[in-house]
C-alpha cells in the first residue's frame, strides 16, 4: 500500500506506528466526520471555491478532520491553510494543526468560544476557499452544517466567468460539504485486532519498532471494503520543538518506524482514510520516552580483568564463563551477546585459519565455553581443530543498545588440562560430612609445581546460578603457607561447580588468567552389612597415581582414629577400595595424604565415618 500524500518534511512528523506489548488494547474515541471524494474530473482554476462553507465546532469533544483532496480534487497538491484570529493574534478562537495540510488534510483545533476565518489555498494561491469556523460550548448545535448563503452569493457576483459560478454553487449542499461520497461509511477501529498501537504507552531511549503499511492499516477496518491508508501526526504546535519520539515512513521497506529521540513525552494522532473520502481520527495518544541504561561491565575481579586491554583469560576445555556474571543491564532486560572468534578448521595441509568470524549468544544460552562456540561453528566449519580465540565480546539489550567491547582475549582450550592447575582434579568426589567431623580436601598452593612456573592462586568462586552449594571453598594461611580447602556438606548425592582462577604475570601491562571449573560430587560410603567402603580412585581423581606404591606404604599415607578393622586394595572391578569393617561409636576419621614433599606440597583428605546401627544385609 502506498503512503498517502507526501511526508511532512519540516519535522518528519508523518511516520510509523509501533507494535509493542506496552501499547495494547485501548479503544479509540474516533471522529466520524464523513469525508469523501467529489467529482474526480479536474475543476477549473478559480479564486472563489465555496466547498466547505462555514463550520460550527464544539469547544470540547471530538476534533473534526476533513480530507482536502476529497473535497477539492484528488489531483491537487500543495495545500496551505491560514486563519485570521489564530496564531499570533490577541483573540485565538481556533487554529489548524500544523502538518496536516501537507498531507491534504484539515484538522481544526477549537481554543475558545468565538469565530475565526480560515482560508484553504492551492495552486500557488491562485485558488482559495474561505470559510468561518465558529467555536461553541454546546456540542448539540454542531450536528448540522451552517451554510452562509449570503457569502456564496457575494462570491458569485464577483466571479469572472460562468464556470466559476458553476464551481461555486456545485459545492453547496450536505452531500458535498465534506467531500464524502453519499452513502460511504468511514473507517473504524478493527475490533478483531487485539493490539491497539494508538494508546498511551512508553519507549526506552534508543528503542525503535517497525510496522509495515499493511499491518498499520489492519488496525482499522472499512465495512464498505474500501482500501485504507493511515497517517500518524505529532501534535507539536511549535515546529522548532524537538519531539521525544517520532514516526518516520521508510519507503525502501514500505514500513513505518517509531523511534525514541530524547527523554520526555510526545503526543500523536492517527488518521485513517478510505478510498472514497471517509476519514476517521483517533484521540491523541502519548508516548513517554524513558531513559534506558546501556549494558555495562560488572564491578568484580573477572569483569575488571577482561576490561583491561592486553589481558587474557584461558578457559580449560570443561570451563564455562557465564556472561551474565560479566555484564549488567537494567532489571528485566534479557541480554544478548556477540563476539568474533579465530580458529583453525581442517587438518594437515588442507587446514585453513579463520579470523574474526562473528558469532552470537542469545538467552537462555549465555554460556561461553569451548563446546558452546564449537556447536555454533559446526555447520559451517565441521572440522574445527585446536584452540579458539574470542575477541570483541560485547552485550546488547532488547533495545539494541550495545556495551563497550571487552578489551581482553579469551582463549578456549581444546585439550582437557592444558598444563595449568592440573593437580586440582577437574572432577572429584568427596564424602559427606557428618557428626564425626568435616569431610574436606585441602591443597597447599604456595608450591609452584602445583600451578606450573610462576603461577599463583588468585581466587575460587561459586557460580551465582547455584543457590544450594554442596561444597564450600575457602582460602587460609598456616605456618607461612597458603591453602585452599573444599569442605563437603552433609547432604549426599549433590554436587557443586567451582571456578578456580590462577594468574601468570608475563610482561608489563599484561596478565594471563587461567580458569578451571571443578565439579565436586558429594557421596556417601557404600554399605555392605556393617561395613562401609570408599573409592580412593575417584577420591583423588588422578589416573596416573602410583597405587602400587600407595599400597606398599599404606600406613605412611593414611592415618585413622578409632578403627578396629580395615581392608584396602584393588578388587575385581579394578577400583581401589578402602573398607572399614567396624566403626567406633564415637565415629572414625581417616586422614589421607597421597603425596607430601617440599617439592610437591600436599593434598589432604579428611573423611569422617559414623557408627551404623541395625543396617540390614
Average pLDDT score over residue span 370-395: 89
Query: What per-residue confidence (pLDDT) applies to 433?
Result: 93
Question: Contact at 8 Å (CB) between 264 and 280?
Answer: no
Q: Taking 80 as the threshold, does the pLDDT of residue 563 lie above it? A: no
Name which residue leads in pLDDT, 539 or 140: 539
| Residues, the chain | 617
- 3-state SS, residue 329: coil
3 DSSP 8-state letter: P
pTM: 0.51
Q: Taking 80 as the threshold, does the pLDDT of residue 339 lie above it? A: yes
Residues with Cβ within 8 Å of 416's Cβ and at least 6 positions away in sequence, in order, are 316, 317, 318, 426
Query: What per-residue confidence (pLDDT) applies to 102?
Result: 81
When mean pLDDT is compared across 56-70, 113-127, 289-303, 462-476, the lowest value belongs to 462-476
Is the backbone peptide bond immediately before 397 cis, with ω within 30 degrees of 0? no
Name which residue leads in pLDDT, 252 or 274: 274
**Grid coordinates representing 452?**
606450573
Strand spans (E) along 379-525: 384-396, 409-412, 427-431, 440-444, 455-461, 471-478, 481-488, 494-505, 511-523
Taking the C-alpha atoms of residue 233 and residue 256, their distance in angstroms, rounded to an integer, is 13
- 3-state SS, residue 141: helix
Q: At what angle are helices 162-170 and 149-157 packed, to 10 degrees?
A: 170
Q: Which residues pair with 288 in a beta bridge?
A: 202, 265
Taking the C-alpha atoms of residue 173 and residue 189, their distance in angstroms, rounded to an integer, is 29
Taking the C-alpha atoms of residue 446 and residue 456, their distance in angstroms, rounded to an integer, is 7
What confidence category does residue 172 fall into, taking pLDDT thresholds of 50, 70 and 90?
Answer: low
Strands 327-328 and 296-297: antiparallel
Strand spans (E) along 227-277: 228-234, 245-250, 255-260, 264-274
Query: What per-residue confidence (pLDDT) applies to 195?
Result: 57
Query: What per-residue confidence (pLDDT) applies to 34?
Result: 39
Average pLDDT score over residue span 402-415: 85
Strand spans (E) along 526-600: 526-528, 531-535, 558-560, 563-570, 576-583, 588-592, 596-597
Query: What per-residue confidence (pLDDT) applies to 340?
Result: 93
62 DSSP 8-state letter: P
When mean pLDDT is compared across 53-67, 83-97, 547-561, 581-595, the lowest value belongs to 83-97
Q: Taking 80 as the threshold, does the pLDDT of residue 182 lie above it? A: no
Nearest residue to 482 (alpha-carbon basis) of 439, 448, 437: 448
What is the maximal distance between C-alpha atoms in the chain?
131
Residues with Cβ within 8 Å of 210's Cβ and at least 6 positions away in sequence, in order, are 16, 250, 253, 255, 256, 257
Taking the C-alpha atoms of residue 153 and residue 169, their distance in angstroms, rounded to an integer, is 9
Share of the chain above pLDDT 90, in %: 7
When mean pLDDT is compared across 35-44, 345-354, 370-379, 571-580, the lowest value belongs to 35-44
Query: What per-residue confidence (pLDDT) applies to 48?
Result: 53
Name which residue leads in pLDDT, 353 or 9: 353
Phi first, then psi: give them for residue 79, nearest 5 degrees.
Answer: -75, 150
Q: pLDDT tens, 48-82?
A: 566 777 888 888 776 678 888 888 887 888 888 88
Strand spans (E) along 379-445: 384-396, 409-412, 427-431, 440-444
Query: What per-residue confidence (pLDDT) applies to 44?
Result: 45
Run of H or E including 538: helix 536-540
Q: pLDDT tens, 224-273?
A: 888 888 888 887 665 557 888 888 887 777 777 888 888 888 888 888 88
- Mean pLDDT (the chain) is 75
Q: Which residues pair with 120 in a beta bridge?
A: 81, 129
Average pLDDT score over residue span 142-158: 57
Q: Taking 90 as the threshold, does the pLDDT of residue 459 lie above it? A: no
CA distances from 246 to 36, 71, 203, 494 (A): 29, 29, 11, 55
Taking the C-alpha atoms of residue 324 and residue 368, their distance in angstroms, rounded to an integer, is 10
Query: What per-residue confidence (pLDDT) applies to 342?
Result: 94
Question: Contact at 8 Å (CB) between 545 and 500?
Answer: no
Strands of 531-535's sheet in order across: 526-528, 531-535, 576-583, 563-570
Nearest residue to 67 (alpha-carbon basis) of 270, 274, 300: 274
Query: What per-residue confidence (pLDDT) applies to 14?
Result: 29
Name which residue leads in pLDDT, 573 or 345: 345
CA distances from 505 to 252, 311, 391, 582 (A): 54, 10, 21, 51
Q: Taking 50 as the threshold, does the pLDDT of residue 485 lie above it? A: yes
Q: pLDDT tens, 190-203?
A: 776 655 666 677 78
Taking the C-alpha atoms of residue 253 and residue 256, their distance in angstroms, rounded to an integer, is 8
**Number of neighbouring beta carbons within 10 Å of residue 590:** 21
Q: pLDDT tens, 85-130?
A: 755 455 778 887 767 888 888 888 888 888 888 888 888 777 888 8
Amino acid at each position: 500500500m502506498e503512503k498517502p500524500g507526501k511526508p511532512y518534511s519540516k519535522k518528519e512528523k508523518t511516520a510509523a506506528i509501533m507494535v509493542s506489548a506496552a501499547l495494547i488494547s485501548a479503544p479509540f474515541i474516533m471522529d466520524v466526520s464523513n469525508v469523501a471524494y467529489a467529482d474526480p474530473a479536474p475543476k477549473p482554476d478559480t479564486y472563489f471555491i465555496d466547498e466547505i462553507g462555514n463550520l460550527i465546532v464544539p469547544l470540547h469533544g471530538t476534533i473534526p478532520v476533513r480530507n482536502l483532496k476529497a473535497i477539492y480534487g484528488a489531483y491537487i497538491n500543495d495545500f496551505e491553510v491560514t486563519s485570521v484570529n489564530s496564531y499570533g493574534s490577541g483573540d485565538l478562537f481556533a487554529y489548524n494543526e500544523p502538518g496536516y495540510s501537507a498531507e491534504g488534510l484539515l484538522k481544526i483545533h477549537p481554543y475558545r468560544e468565538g469565530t475565526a476565518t480560515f482560508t484553504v489555498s492551492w495552486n500557488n494561491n491562485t485558488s482559495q476557499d474561505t470559510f468561518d469556523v465558529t467555536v461553541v460550548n454546546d456540542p448539540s448545535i454542531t450536528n448540522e452544517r451552517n451554510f452562509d448563503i449570503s457569502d456564496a452569493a457575494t462570491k458569485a457576483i464577483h466571479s469572472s466567468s460562468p464556470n466559476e459560478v458553476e464551481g461555486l454553487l456545485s459545492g453547496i449542499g450536505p452531500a458535498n460539504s465534506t467531500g464524502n461520497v453519499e452513502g460511504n461509511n468511514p473507517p473504524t477501529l478493527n475490533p478483531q485486532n487485539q493490539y491497539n498501537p494508538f494508546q498511551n504507552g512508553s519507549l526506552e531511549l534508543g528503542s525503535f519498532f517497525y510496522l509495515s503499511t499493511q499491518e498499520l492499516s489492519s488496525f482499522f477496518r472499512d465495512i464498505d471494503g474500501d482500501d485504507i491508508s493511515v497517517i500518524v501526526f505529532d501534535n507539536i504546535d511549535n515546529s522548532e520543538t524537538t519531539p521525544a519520539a517520532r514516526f518516520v515512513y521508510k519507503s525502501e521497506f514500505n514500513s513505518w518506524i517509531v523511534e525514541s529521540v530524547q527523554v520526555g513525552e510526545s503526543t500523536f494522532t492517527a488518521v485513517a482514510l478510505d478510498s472514497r473520502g471517509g476519514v476517521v481520527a483517533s484521540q491523541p495518544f502519548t508516548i513517554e520516552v524513558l531513559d534506558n541504561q546501556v549494558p555495562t561491565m560488572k564491578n568484580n575481579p573477572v569483569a575488571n580483568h577482561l576490561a583491561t586491554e592486553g589481558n587474557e583469560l584461558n578457559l580449560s576445555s570443561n570451563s564455562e564463563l557465564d556472561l551474565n556474571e560479566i555484564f549488567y543491564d537494567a532489571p528485566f532486560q534479557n541480554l544478548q551477546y556477540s563476539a568474533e572468534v579465530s580458529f583453525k578448521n581442517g587438518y594437515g595441509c588442507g587446514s585453513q585459519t579463520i579470523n574474526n568470524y562473528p558469532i552470537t549468544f542469545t538467552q537462555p544460552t549465555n554460556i561461553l565455553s569451548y563446546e558452546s562456540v564449537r556447536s555454533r561453528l559446526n555447520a559451517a566449519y565441521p572440522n574445527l581443530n585446536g584452540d579458539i580465540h574470542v575477541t570483541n565480546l560485547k552485550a546488547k539489550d532488547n533495545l539494541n543498545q550495545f556495551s563497550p567491547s571487552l578489551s581482553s582475549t579469551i582463549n578456549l582450550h581444546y585439550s582437557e588440562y592444558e598444563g595449568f592447575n592440573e593437580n586440582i582434579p577437574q572432577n572429584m568426589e568427596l564424602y559427606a560430612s557428618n557428626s564425626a567431623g568435616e569431610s574436606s580436601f585441602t591443597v597447599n598452593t604456595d608450591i609452584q609445581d602445583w600451578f606450573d612456573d610462576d603461577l599463583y592462586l588468585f581466587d575460587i568462586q561459586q557460580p551465582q546460578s547455584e543457590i544450594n552449594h554442596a561444597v564450600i571453598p575457602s582460602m587460609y594461611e598456616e605456618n607461612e603457607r597458603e591453602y585452599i580447602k573444599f569442605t563437603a556438606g552433609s547432604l549426599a548425592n549433590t554436587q557443586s561447580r567451582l571456578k578456580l582462577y590462577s594468574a601468570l604475570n608475563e610482561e608489563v601491562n599484561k596478565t594471563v588468567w587461567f580458569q578451571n571449573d571443578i565439579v565436586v560430587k558429594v557421596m556417601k560410603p557404600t554399605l555392605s552389612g556393617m561395613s562401609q567402603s570408599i573409592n580412593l580412585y575417584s577420591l583423588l581423581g588422578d589416573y596416573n597415581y602410583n597405587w602400587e606404591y600407595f599400597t606398599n606404604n599404606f600406613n605412611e599415607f593414611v592415618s585413622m582414629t578409632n578403627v578396629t578393622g580395615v581392608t584396602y586394595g584393588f578388587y575385581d572391578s579394578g577400583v581401589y577400595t578402602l573398607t572399614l569393617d567396624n566403626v567406633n561409636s564415637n565415629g572414625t576419621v581417616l586422614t589421607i595424604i597421597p603425596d607430601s614433599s617440599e617439592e610437591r606440597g600436599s593434598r589432604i583428605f579428611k573423611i569422617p565415618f559414623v557408627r551404623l546401627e541395625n543396617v540390614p544385609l
